[in-house]
Amino acid sequence: MALAKITQVTGRAVNVPGNDIDTDRIIPARFMKCVSFDGLGEFLFYDVRKNEDGSNKNHPLNEARFQGATVLLSGANFGCGSSREHAPQAIQKYGFRAVIAENFAEIFFGNSTTLGMPCVCATREDIAKIAAAVEANPQLEVVIDVAAQEVRFGGQTIKTTQRESARDALINGRWDSIGELLEGKDAVAALAKKLPYLAA
């Protein structure tokens, strides 16, 4: 399985501020009644984006000027809560290609990386700089350079950090590990023999 090498993500950005944005908020549980991930995008952030009658609330994702954004900005501990892959799937299916936040909850981070969606960390001040630039010009092109660990926008450059294993996996096209895991088949069988509880 040849996977794309994700060295850069370029696109317009939208800021959804807040800390501890949990996976229930990203995709409310009632939309998880599905046997496929297709169609999850339209329910992204549903309860903070929509009123009960389906009309729009005041939310950055509802603003015309941010339509088509592919980079999501947010605060600390993004994606905390449940292990549901429905959360990164909803973000990706909505059209986002990368997330910049102060830091990420563990399982969300892993799930996103496996989907080839870079999650990079920046300081609060730097995220505020990107947010301000995007606010002033929603058409601004934001470049997340995964390889170089920086974000470039409107003549400014900020540093980002990312766990090395994830960065390596993204830029070398190894973000989906299934191929490599399957290659370990014989080693798995050998190890399994040493663990008595695995015997049928």
Partner 1 sequence: MPKSLFQKVWDAHTVRQLANGQTQLLIGTHLIHEVTSPQAFGMLRDLNLKVAMPHRTFATVDHIVPTDQFAEPYSDPLAQAMIEAIRKNCQEFGITFFDRATGKQGVVHIVGPEQGITQPGTTIACGDSHTSTHGAFGAVAFGIGTTQIRDVLATQTMALGQLKVRRIEVNGKLHPGVYAKDVILHIIRTLGVNGGTGFAYEYAGDLFDRMSMEERMTVCNMSIEGGARVGYVNPDETTFAYLQGRPYSRKGAAWDAAVKSWKSFASDAGCHYDDVVKIDAASIEPTVTWGINPGQGLGVNECIPDPSKATSVDEKASIEEALAYMKFKPGAPIKGTKIDVAFLGSCTNGRLSDFQEVAKFIKGKKVAAGIKAIAVPGSQIVALQCAKLGIDKVLSEAGFEWREAGCSMCLAMNPDKLVGDQVSASSSNRNFKGRQGSPTGRTILMSPLMVAAAAITGTVSDAREVFAVNQN
Binding site residues, partner 1, CB under 8 A? 18-20, 22, 24-25, 28-30, 32-37, 47-48, 52, 76-77, 80-86, 88-89, 103, 105-107, 110-111, 114-115, 163-166, 168-169, 172, 174, 176-178, 180-182, 184-185, 187-188, 191-192, 194-198, 200
| Dihedral, CA of residue 25, residue 21, residue 125 and residue 135, to nearest 10 | 0
Nearer to partner 1, 136 or 199 (CB): 199
Nearer to partner 1, 35 or 136 (CB): 35
In total, the chain counts a number of residues equal to: 200
How far is CA 106 from each of CA 83, 112, 131, 185, rounded to the nearest angstrom? 9, 10, 24, 27
Task: Write down the least CB distance from residue 42 to partner 1, Å.
Answer: 16
Task: Write down the least CB distance from residue 184 to partner 1, Å.
Answer: 5
H/E stretch holding 127: helix 124-136
State the DSSP code for 184: T
Angle, helices 164-171 vs 106-114, to 10°: value is 10
Task: Write down the least CB distance from residue 169 to partner 1, Å.
Answer: 5
CB atoms within 10 A of CB 26: 27
Nearer to partner 1, 42 or 168 (CB): 168
Q: Which two tokens stand for residue 61?
A: 């994702």
Q: Which two tokens stand for residue 36?
A: 């496929």
Task: Write down the least CB distance from residue 83 to partner 1, Å.
Answer: 4
Nearer to partner 1, 7 or 114 (CB): 114
